[in-house]
Structure 1
């Protein structure tokens, strides 16, 4: 069988779902059975759960950027870019490469795993003044930014400027926001010892969330344990509160408080990638509605998984869908690969089923809360479970070794609190990293594909 006649499998996205799908396809398919192509801007998988530890300097960025080219069975063709539209009728994916060239990639089978973007609201000044925590570049930038606030506050003779630079606001009481606030507070608490001119009492961290509870998925007991840890460290946690407006030097809360700050970190949830909006298909709260076997109803060879897919949660039933977590994405990636192979070979597809392994939240140092297999833990035992889980989830031995080495080095030697300055002259707010204006509309996708066909004829 030659290259032209081999089925073409296109996987969109190199998150947990996309990478695990590609790896399973590489292991289970012979080189002559199908061609596998992956669309991603970067040739690495980002281990997102440890991003707050990169922001706080516990881990180096490289340690959680796991190369896609280390697999011994690697044979997947990688297109360096992002999918900006899909024409389901023509079976063509429109891709914007990292050089801004737009190309059409035909497929026979497509797995949509484009992930999610930060969920924002129509809050004045939010996208212009808030930082996100979804990418490696954002985490590295936030670390530089936080340390620079200490540097600038130390050099300033203006009490008002000093106060605003030493207040930090994190919005979002889920896992990402809680871990971000906890890890960065430890960074500033340790760093202030190197700034004898700064009063540690001036450094204030605020964690706010519109929900009445912190990380409600953990349950009341562990949620309260996490809350106690944060408050014991001096983090002011405000629940039932959000942002009314944001400005360059202050943030106004919905309860009327005005906090002078130069640092607003927004982690208030995620929404499906805008790519899903380019498909003429049914959605559930913005996520692509698929069957339990992860197939798009009424479409041949179209699958969707991860944060952008509303995969039925058969373990819960009653119309429940799987939450957008790394645990589900990874499992769905493997399961959808098996279904693509089954479709390729004319075999029946299997529905996605799972058994919940629990949740882990690393609050830095010896503090953590975990719920492995329903067992509630906090403190050192929870930290051991959390770090053990992360090590097990990292895909390569090189990544595991890097992370363990970073943890050990940080525990023994601490941090030097060095700013890299790599992005010092570049904008790095939410609007600068999400690229939401890069996607095409449904009509633009069809028009682009039809024009390309006409030129080919």
Structure 2
């Protein structure tokens, strides 16, 4: 039984935020019903994005709405606030948040008191001061970015098909991806596969006209699947005419020209930045201890070191890996989901005065998709490639996506995709849904700073 009424604030609605709230909702079922506890989730979006499915959403293998989970449906006993935490003063047990309502009114941020804090804001793209990146770069971390990139790739093919200018055509058909981790390799693999299929419907384009370039600063890609599988991935991509440039950096993409550290220059209208992530900036506005890399310094019980009633996990937290002393758990989805379960249990145990559990999980391995029926995997010491790895990738992530509803919809969509042809429609106008009406009403069409259409 909870000793007193507990106000639990969860900052973030991603993997850790959603799964922790879900676990708390189950563990504190009676307390929530009696009003002895309340759970508030503050999140910028009213849904959790299952990021491993973003490449398939970009390729059109999955509908965008099936890679997100509506928080209000899975967290019916929690208060979901769509907004952002601007700062946290844990010494005062107060968080400053902005909501859609405060932004609409131009009102000052709200002060939200709490008793227990779960900081799980996740991470944001880690960018470098590359000239032109802010103007022309495309991220790949949200479902909006994934669908926007799909529309953009097909629009570039439309541009190339409708022009006789070889310079415009070459720039439109050159796609540069920066970063050889999961996000970059899977996004490139799925989109190259999709574009190769789409090219058959253009009378003056062939798959060989498209130029795909993967730029990686280190000497290997996909380090998570091991050196051997990483080398296989490089070979597989190069066999598909993808230029894999290792030990190379993007120096500039100003004026729509990708300039690389090895001196190569590629006129391009597409630069996709997937070169890593960093902890969410809200951590800078807290009074909690952090590591030199900016992550919250945590204990193996998922408490913030030296601060009672503060908890953290996932990308924002440096959690000691008890299976490998002296190291921290890697900031990935595999750890985040498992940490969230322990975190939800430990908060409930703390409220009831029970001993806390230690988070311990031995890394199982990794799987990655390289397009339809292609993949690599290194799981429990076994190495797989090609179709078996691709099948394992789908099976694993189908088992991990939250709710039976989502599992059934994803499985049904995969089954239908196996029976029918791919969709090759670009809906770039979704980014400016009022453009046509504004023009008809005498206004000016919106300016697209990226020039993607």
Q: Please give the TM-score of this superposition, normalised by the length of structure 1.
A: 0.90
* Equivalent position of 2:175 in the other structure: 168
Q: Which residue of 2 aligns with 1:13?
A: 12
> Any residues of structure 2 matched to 1:350-389 within 5 Å, and which?
350-389=357-396
Partner Cα distance (2:195, 2:250) in 1: 23
Residue number in structure 1 paired with 2:267: 260
Moved more, 163-172 or 59-68: 59-68
Q: Which residue of 1 aligns with 2:96?
A: 94
1:48 maps onto 2:51 in alignment: yes
What per-residue deviation string (whole Å, max 9, x for no partner) do you get for residues 197-247 of structure 1? Answer: 224322110011101011122112111121122111111111001100112
The answer to whether the 8 Å contact 2:289/2:296 transfers is: yes
Report deviation, 1:426. Answer: 7.2
- Distance in 2 between the 1:85 and 1:311 partners? 22
Shift of 1:178: 0.4
Match among 304, 308, 318 for residue 312 of structure 2:
304
Structure 1 residues 209-288: aligned runs within 5 Å: 209-284=216-291, 285-288=293-296
Equivalent pair of 1:131/1:428 in contact (CA under 8 Å): no
List alignment gaps of at least 5 residues for structure 2. Answer: 433-445
**Is 1:69 equivalent to 2:76 in the alignment?**
no
CA RMSD of aligned residues (A): 1.7
Q: CA deviation at 1:248?
A: 4.2
| Aligned-partner Cα distance in 2 for 1:356–1:224 | 21
The residue number in structure 1 matching 2:299 is 291
Could you tell me which residue of structure 1 aligns to residue 82 of structure 2?
A: 80
SS in 1 for 2:57: helix
* Separation in structure 2 between the aligned mates of residue 135 and residue 428 of structure 1, nearest angstrom: 19
Q: Does the CA-based 8 Å contact 1:138-1:428 persist in structure 2?
A: no
User: CA-to-partner distance for each residue in 1:422-450, whole Å, 9 max, x for gaps?
Assistant: 11557687xxxxxxxxxxxxxxxxxxxxx
Deviations 1:104-153 (A, max 9, x none): 11100010000000011111111221000011111111111111101111
Deviations 1:166-187 (A, max 9, x none): 0000011001100011011011
2:148 aligns with one of 141, 146, 149: 141
Which residue is equivalent to 1:417?
424
Q: Cα gap change, 1:428/1:290 in structure 2, threshold over 3 Å: closer, same or farther? A: farther
Normalising by structure 2, we get a TM-score of 0.90
Query: For residues 423 and 350 of structure 2, what CA distance do their matches in structure 1 show?
Result: 53
Paired with 2:116 and 2:405, the residues of 1 have a C-alpha distance of 32
Distance 1:263 1:53 in 2: 19
Structure 1 ranges of 4+ moved more than 6 A? none
Whole-angstrom distance in 1 between the partners of 2:72 and 2:379: 32
**Residues 289 and 309 of structure 1 are in contact (CA less than 8 Å); yes or no, is this contact kept in structure 2?**
yes
Matched residue, 1:34? 37
CA distance in 1, matches of 2:262, 2:243: 14
Distance 1:426 1:351 in 2: 53
CA distance in 1, matches of 2:352, 2:328: 28
The one-character-per-residue Cα deviations of 1:338-374 (angstroms, maximum 9, x if unpaired) are: 1111211112222211122211101121111112222
* Number of the residue aligned with 1:454: none
Q: SS at 1:241's partner residue?
A: coil
How far apart are the structure 1 equivalents of 2:270 and 2:189? 15
Q: Which residue of 1 aligns with 2:439?
A: none
Q: Is the 8 A contact 2:126 2:276 kept in 1?
A: yes
Matched residues, number: 425
- The 3-state SS of whatever aligns with 1:283 is coil
- Give distance in 1, aligned partners of 2:68 and 2:162: 35
CA contact (8 A) 2:60 2:423 kept: no
CA distance in 1, matches of 2:93, 2:99: 19
User: What is the alpha-carbon distance in structure 2 between the residues aligned to residue 94 and residue 115 of structure 1?
Assistant: 18
Unaligned runs of 5+ in 1: 430-457
